[in-house]
């Protein structure tokens, strides 16, 4: 199943100009993105505040791209229903923000969305073992969450490799997503280690040629 697997590109809205979200969506579509990555921050789980479910709903009204919601919030279970009814395809929450993560995964799926779980750089990938059979996506953070434009933490590469090997061994079906500091120079290693979805905020939106950047990140062009 994963032999000739495809790579999905998921630009993060976080690095776009919030005064012109519609234009940002068009840039992502033109770059042939499969997902729009939407970083929801509450100022509690992370030291930054972004936007809520209305942004997701409004974006779902202007694009057919799949919406990949990354909840960096405390008590994620309180917000799942709102995001599910706003057009999210994937809803990902943090293991570190939840006590009953298994229940929250069932909650997300019960509302018709795909369920993702994420871990910060300081959390070992082994802590996900009970959840891997039931999740649709594992989001490995390669920066400490809260801000765009940070440097990639290399320890994430081993986590991706482990997640890829364990899914092959056990026939699990989750996608592996990597988020934080992804750019044209590290995307080759990230892809080779088994990631499926590459999230990119600043390297994409701050590039003078975001379309070329997207091609480098996907591996359509070699650096």
What is the strand order of the sheet 175-179 is part of?
8-11, 197-200, 175-179, 137-141, 114-119, 90-94, 66-72, 35-41
Burial degree of 166 (CB within 10 A; 0-12, 13-18, 19+):
middle
Rg (the chain; Cα; Å): 16
Q: 87 contacts which partner out of Zn ion, ligand DX5, none, CB within 5 to 8 A by kind?
A: none
Residues 75-134 that bind ligand DX5 (CB under 6 A): none
Q: Which of 87, 116, 145, 194 binds ligand DX5 (CB under 6 A)?
A: 145
With contacts defined by CB under 6 A, name the span among 54-62, 148-156, 166-174, 210-218 that binds ligand DX5.
148-156
The interface region with Zn ion, picked from 3-11, 123-131, 166-174, 177-185 by CB under 5 A, is: 177-185
Q: How far is the CB of 171 from ligand DX5 (least distance, A)?
A: 29
Question: What gap in Å lies between CA 40 and CA 140, rounded to an integer?
Answer: 16
Over the range 4-37, which residues count as b (16 or more CB within 10 Å of their CB) and which as e?
Answer: eeebbbbbbbbbbeeeebeebbebbeebebbbbb
Assess contact for 176 and 196: CB atoms under 8 A: yes
User: Contact 70/63 with Cβ under 8 angstroms?
Assistant: no
Q: Which is nearer to Zn ion, 39 or 89 (CB)?
A: 39
The partner in contact with residue 75, picked from Zn ion, ligand DX5, none with C-beta cut-offs of 5 to 8 angstroms by kind, is none
Q: Which does 14 bind (CB under 5 to 8 A by kind): ligand DX5, Zn ion, none?
A: ligand DX5
Select from Zn ion, ligand DX5, none the partner in contact with residue 146, using the beta carbon and a kind-dependent cut-off of 5 to 8 Å: ligand DX5
For residue 42, state whether it binds Zn ion (rule: CB under 5 A).
Answer: no
Known active-site residue 179: yes
* 221 closest CA partner among 25, 9, 10: 9
* Residue 95 to residue 141: CA distance in whole angstroms: 12
Q: Which is nearer to ligand DX5, 32 or 170 (CB)?
A: 32
Residues within window 160-219 making contact with ligand DX5, judged by CB under 6 A: 179-182, 199-203
Residue nearest to ligand DX5 (CB): 201
User: Where on the chain is the footprint of Zn ion (CB under 5 A)?
Assistant: 39, 70, 179
Catalytic residue set: 39, 179
């Amino acid at each position: 199943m994963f032999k000739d697997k495809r790579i999905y590109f998921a630009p993060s809205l976080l690095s776009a100009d919030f005064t012109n979200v519609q234009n940002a969506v068009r840039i992502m579509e033109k770059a042939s993105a499969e997902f729009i990555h939407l970083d929801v921050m509450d100022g509690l789980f992370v030291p930054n505040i972004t936007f809520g479910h209305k942004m997701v709903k409004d974006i779902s009204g202007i694009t057919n791209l799949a919406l990949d919601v990354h909840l960096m919030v405390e008590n994620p279970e309180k917000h799942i229903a709102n995001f599910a009814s706003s057009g999210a395809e994937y809803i990902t929450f943090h293991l570190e923000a939840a006590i009953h993560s298994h229940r929250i995964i069932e909650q997300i799926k019960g509302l018709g969305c795909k369920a993702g779980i994420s871990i910060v750089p300081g959390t070992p990938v082994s802590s996900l073992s009970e959840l891997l059979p039931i999740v649709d996506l594992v989001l490995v953070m390669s920066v400490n969450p809260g801000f765009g434009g940070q440097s990639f933490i290399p320890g994430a590469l081993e986590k991706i490799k482990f997640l890829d090997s364990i899914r092959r061994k056990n026939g699990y079906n989750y996608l592996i997503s990597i988020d934080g500091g992804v750019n044209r120079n590290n995307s080759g290693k990230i892809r080779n280690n088994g990631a499926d979805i590459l999230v990119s905020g600043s390297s994409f939106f701050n590039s003078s040629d975001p379309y070329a950047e997207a091609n480098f990140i996907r591996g359509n062009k070699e650096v």
